[in-house]
């Protein structure tokens, strides 16, 4: 889907109502992410076949999600840490079985 064809939310207003100064409510287009899947990388012997594109095609408003970029970055960081922790626990369990 092209970004130009994504529908803007019906409730969107560019400037939020406030007492003193108008606050701009921006649209953030989250179209997807590209990442290297470690399992695919290992299977493909470090070739370029490890790259995966996940398509989201979402539009969010900064009024509803004020810090969406940092939130997404924190989510990726914490999920990577979680995967590393689980890999470590699996390796420890495998070592105990041997």
pLDDT digit string (tens) for 20-36?
777 778 888 888 888 88
Q: Which pLDDT score, from 0 to 100, does residue 1 have?
A: 62
Please choose, from the candidates 27, 2, 29, 1, the residue with its C-alpha nearest in 3D space to the C-alpha of residue 13.
27
- Residue 28's beta-bridge partner residues? 60
φ, ψ of residue 59 to 5 degrees: the values are -120, 125
pLDDT tens column, 40-95: 777 777 666 778 888 888 888 888 888 888 888 898 899 889 989 998 999 999 99
């Amino acid at each position: 889907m092209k970004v130009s064809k994504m529908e803007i939310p019906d409730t969107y207003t560019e400037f939020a109502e406030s007492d003193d100064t108008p606050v701009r409510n921006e649209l953030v287009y989250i179209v997807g992410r590209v990442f290297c899947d470690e399992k695919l990388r290992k299977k493909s012997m470090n070739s370029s076949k490890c790259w995966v594109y996940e398509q989201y095609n979402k539009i969010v408003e900064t009024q509803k999600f004020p810090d969406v970029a940092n939130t997404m970055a924190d989510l990726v960081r914490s999920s990577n840490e979680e995967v590393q922790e689980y890999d470590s626990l699996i390796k420890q369990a495998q070592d105990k079985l041997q």
